[in-house]
Amino acid sequence: MAGYSDLPFRRMCRRFGLHYAHTALIDAGALVYANPDASQILCRGEDEPYLAVQLLGSIAEDIKKAAALLAQMHFDAIDFNMGCPVRKVLRRKAGAAMMQYQENALECLKIIRDSSPRPLSVKTRILSESDPTPTVEFCLALQSLGIDAITIHGRLTEKIYSGPVAAHIIRAVSESLRIPVCANGGVFNAEQALQLAKDSSCRRIMIARGAIGNPWLFHELTQGQPYLPKHKEVCQTMLEHLDGMRQLYGESKGMILGRKIVQSYLVGRGYRRNLRDLATKICTWQQFREFHSLVLDSPPEKYPVDTKTH
């Protein structure tokens, strides 16, 4: 997830059960032409057990050069993104737009496959909510190039993240391919994960937005039961997450990027709205520590704050 799944985010999620993780999207052009943000996107912690790099692009020459660079880096797999629905990505005929330019999509994917010995997966979306044939045929073409796995987000590109997930389309893909198929879309708790797995006939589920501000989701998924973090645990996790961002990006950039992270920890947990508003003004580590102390002293009235351990 661009802007979210960096090293500090992954570390928080790994603490509660995450193992298989991806970097945020890295644009092939940004990698080739040494965009200053690329090193932070690709930063891998020495403590990370598994990490796939998530590559985005649509220009064959950039893809070729990027694949050569990635072959020299320490990643366990490459995941080629054909599912991002963001408008600025679609305008470049990348992400989910590649499903409309399938010849180019297959060419770019073949370049990666020929350039890297590492496992190669693809993330894409459905092409129809009612007819599985277009999605199945596209995924069969991807499989024919020798990819190792595929993830299907069960919504149309234009739906972005809204509406029901068409699990029956994912099921049709899963039943038609010989490689592993991973289902994605609309999972914010263990119950939804189990339902998507059942409806899609997939043994693998990809988590995305559901983990933003909620690394405890991975505890739910691995333990099979709800997990409600106490107030102090929310505050401590938020503190460590922002400290990790300060270390990775530097104080100024880390705190500005961290504003949305702070808000994600507070939303939906009963915290006062004015606290979330105050988070938008954080610019320095000192300001964050003052804000953190304020939050720590302001537990939600309807939120469990007992000291019992989980």
pLDDT at 2: 85
The CATH code of domain 231-296 reads: 1.10.1200
Give the span between the Cα atoms of 10 and 166, in whole angstroms: 28
Q: Where in the chain is the domain with CATH 1.10.1200?
A: 231-296
pLDDT at 304: 53
Length of the chain: 310
Type of residue found at 255: M
> For residue 310, what pLDDT band results from cuts at 50, 70 and 90?
very low
pLDDT at 308: 39
SS (H, E, C) 218-267: HHHHHHCCCCCCCHHHHHHHHHHHHHHHHHHHCHHHHHHHHHHHHHHHHC
pLDDT at 307: 37
The CATH code of domain 7-223 reads: 3.20.20.70
| pLDDT over 60 at 115, yes or no | yes
pLDDT at 203: 94
> For residue 3, what pLDDT band results from cuts at 50, 70 and 90?
confident
Backbone angles phi, psi at 205, to 5 degrees: -125, 135
Q: What percentage of the chain exceeds 70 in pLDDT? A: 97
Strand residues in the chain grouped as ranges (E)? 21-27, 51-56, 77-81, 120-125, 149-153, 181-184, 204-206
DSSP string, 192-207: HHHHHHHHHT-SEEE-
**The token pair that represents 156 in the structure block:** 């149309």
Q: List pLDDT tens digits, range 131-169.
A: 999 999 999 999 999 999 999 999 999 999 999 999 999
pLDDT at 306: 42
Among 70-79, 80-89, 247-256, 300-309, the minimum mean pLDDT is found in 300-309
Q: What is the mean pLDDT of residues 27-42?
A: 93
Q: List pLDDT tens digits, range 171-198.
A: 999 999 999 999 999 999 999 999 999 9
**The token pair that represents 244 in the structure block:** 């990790």
pLDDT at 82: 97
Q: List pLDDT tens digits, range 281-309.
A: 999 999 999 999 999 999 998 765 443 33
Q: List pLDDT tens digits, range 195-250.
A: 999 999 999 999 999 999 999 999 999 998 889 999 999 999 999 999 999 999 99
Task: Spell out the residues 6+ positions from residue 133 whose beta carbon is closer than 8 angstroms to its own.
Answer: none
Do residues 123 and 56 make contact, with C-beta atoms less than 8 angstroms apart?
A: no
Give the span between the Cα atoms of 78 and 116, in whole angstroms: 9
Task: Spell out the residues 6+ positions from residue 124 whose beta carbon is closer than 8 angstroms to its own.
Answer: 82, 83, 96, 98, 99, 138, 139, 142, 150, 151, 152, 153
pLDDT at 220: 95
Q: List pLDDT tens digits, range 47-73.
A: 999 999 999 999 999 999 999 999 999
pLDDT at 303: 60
Give the span between the Cα atoms of 25 and 89, in whole angstroms: 11
Q: Where in the chain is the domain with CATH 3.20.20.70?
A: 7-223
Q: What is the CA radius of gyration of the chain?
A: 20
